Copies of this chain bind each other. A is one copy, B any other.
Amino acid sequence: MKEQILRQVYQHPELSDSDLEKIFSIHEKIQLKKGDFILKEGQTANNYMVLEKGIMRSFVYDYNGDDITTNFFIENEIVIEVSSLFQRIPAKEYMQSLTDCSCYKIDFDKFQELFHSIENFREWGRAWLSNSLFEFKQRSVSIIKESATDRYLTLLKRKPQIIQQAPLKNIASFLGVTDSSLSRIRKSINL
C-alpha cells in the first residue's frame, strides 16, 4: 500500500529502486481527523505529507477576514506549504483536513539529507516544484479567462472528490465566486 502510493508520487525516470527505497523509508504514516490543522499561519512548516486517503485544503484570510481556499488536495498528492518549508519562514497559509485522512509524513531534516545526497531526487524535486508553478500559472489564466461555470466544471472533472465532499463555501472561494453564485451555478448545471 505505502509503496504503491509513494511510487506514484516519486515518479522520475532516473530514480533507482534503491533510491526509492531510501526515500520511502523516511515516510511515516499518520492519521488526521476531519478539521485537523497541519499548519497555521505564522508557524514554520517542518514537514510535508503525501495524502493516501481523504481531502485537505489550504487557505488564507483576506483583509475582510473572509477565508479563501487557495488549493485542494486529494489522494496521491503532496500536501505542502512550499515557501514556508523551503524558505524556512512563517507560513502565510493554513492547511487543514476536510475529512479524516491518512498520510505519509516526511520531516524536513530527513528530506534535506536525501535531497543533497541523491542527485536524481533533487531532479525529481525540482521538476515537481516546476510543475506546481505551472499549475498555479494556469489557475490565474483560468480565473481571468473562464467563466465561473467553466471553472466549476473543470474542477468537477479534475477533482470530483472535492465537489462531492468539500463544503460549498470552500469551493466557492477557491473558484472566486460567492456562495450564492456557486449555488446558482450548480442549479443551472442541473437543469
User: Which residues from chain A sit less than 8 Å from chain B, CB to CB?
Assistant: 60, 62-63, 68, 70, 82-83, 85-87, 92, 116, 119, 122, 125-127, 129-134, 136-137, 139-141, 143-145, 173, 176
Contact = CB atoms under 8 A, between A and B. Distances in A.
A144 B68 CA distance: 9
A139 B140 contact: yes
Nearest to A173: B144
B134 A137 contact: no
Contacts of A137: 70, 136
A contact patch SS: helix
A122 B123 CA distance: 11
A133 B133 contact: yes
Most chain B CB within a 10 A radius of its CB, from A82, A122, A132, A137: A137
B143 A144 contact: yes
A82 B86 CA distance: 17
B131 A83 contact: yes
A68 B145 contact: yes
Contacts of A132: 133
Given A116-B119, A119-B116, A122-B122, A82 B130 contact: yes
